[in-house]
Amino acid sequence: MIARAGFLIVFAFAAAAQTPDFDRVQIHVEPVQRNIYMLSGAGGNITVQVGSEGVLMVDTEYAPLAPKIMAEIHKLSPGPLRYIINTHVHPDHVGGNDAIAKLIPQDPLLPLKIIAHSNVLNRLTAPVPGQPPAPRDGLPLDEFATSRKNMHFNGEAIVIYHEPKAHTDGDSIVLFRGSDVIGAGDIFTPGSYPFIDIERGGSVQGEIAGLNHILELAIPAKTQEGGTYVIPGHGRICDDADVVEFRDMVVIVRDRIRDMIGKGMTLDRIKAAKPTMDYDTEYVSADSFVTADQFVESVYKSLAGGAK
C-alpha cells in the first residue's frame, strides 16, 4: 500500500514537473512519409494525416497549445479537421481535445469525431474526487470496444489496434497503411523507460505484446533508411530497428526481474540489485519522466501479481 501511494505521488510530481511554460513552447512540424507529419511541442507527439478529405490527428497535447497546433496544421492543409484519435488517457495526449474542438468551425455535415478505445472514455468520465469532470466536447464519444477499428480517409486505409493492458488499459496504435507509418503512442518511448501505468491497468506483459505487435506490422526497407516509420509517444521519428532495440531492453529487464522474484527477492532488494544498470545511461536523463526505480517497480508489480 505504501509503495502504491509512492508510485502515485511520483507520477503526480513528474506530471507537475513537466508542465511547461506554454507561452514559450513552439510547435515543430516534421514530414514523416507521404500524407503524414509529426508535430511536437510539449507533451506527447501528434501524428497528422492530411489529404483531399481534410485532416486527421492522433493525440492533442495540452489545451493551451491548441491555437499554435491548429495554426501549424492549417499550413499543411486548409481542409476541415474530421478526426482526432487518442492513443490513451494521459493528459499530455488528450489535454487539447476540448480546446481544439471549440476552435474549429462547426459544420453539422462534417462533424469532428473523437475516437479512442472505450477504456479511455470510461476513465475520462469516471468521477475523480476534487477534480472537475472532463469537458464534454473533448470526450472520445466515438469509442470502440473491439480489438481493432478500420477506417478509410484521405485515400488510405487506417487501422486502430487496441493493445490490451500495455502502458495503460486503453492504448491504441494507429497504422496508416498507405503512408506506411505507425503512431505508437506511449507504448514506445525511445530514450526513456516506458511508463507502465499500473494504476490505469498497464502491465509489462501487455507492453511487450504491444511492442511485438508494432514489429509485426512494421516492415524494414532493404536499405538502411526507409520502410515503415514509427512515431513514438515522445521522442524522435523512428524505424523498425529502433523498436527492436527498445523491445529487447524491456524483455531483458523483465527476464532479470522475473528471475529475481523467482529467487524470493523483495522489491527493495531487486531495486538495490539494479537490474537496469547497463541501460540507465541510454534511458535515463535529467528530464526523464520515468526513473529506473519506477520502471523496475512497475515491472515487479506486473509480475508479482501472479502473472507470467
Query: Can you give the binding site for Zn ion, defined by CB under 5 A?
Result: 90, 186
Contact 115, 160 (CB under 8 A): yes
Cα 26 from chain centre: 20
185: β partners: 232
Of the pair 179, 294, the CB lying nearest Zn ion is at 294
C-alpha cell at 299: 515491472
What Å distances lie between residue 180 and 33, 48, 93, 230, CA to CA?
Answer: 7, 13, 22, 9
Mapped onto helix, strand or coil, the DSSP state of residue 46 is strand
What cell numbers appear for 212 in the block? 511485438
Q: Where are the beta strands (DSSP E) in 154-217?
A: 156-163, 171-176, 181-185
Q: How far is the CB of 195 from Zn ion (least distance, A)?
A: 6
**What is the CB neighbour count within 10 angstroms for residue 249?**
19
Question: Is the CB of 54 or the CB of 170 nearer to Zn ion?
Answer: 170
Minimum CB separation from Zn ion for residue 168, in Å?
7
Cα–Cα distance measured from residue 254 to residue 259, given in angstroms and rounded to the nearest whole number = 9
Closest distance to Zn ion from the beta carbon of 152 (Å): 28
Judged by beta carbon, residue 54 or residue 233, the one nearer Zn ion is: 233
Which CB, 61 or 180, lies closer to Zn ion? 61
Q: How far is the CB of 44 from Zn ion (least distance, A)?
A: 7
Instruction: Confirm if 69 and 92 have CB atoms less than 8 A apart.
Output: no
Nearer to Zn ion, 27 or 120 (CB): 120
Is the CB of 156 or the CB of 186 nearer to Zn ion? 186
For 125, the 3-state DSSP assignment is helix
Instruction: Tell me the closest approach of the beta carbon of residue 74 to Zn ion, in angstroms.
Output: 27
CB 159 → Zn ion: shortest distance, Å? Answer: 21
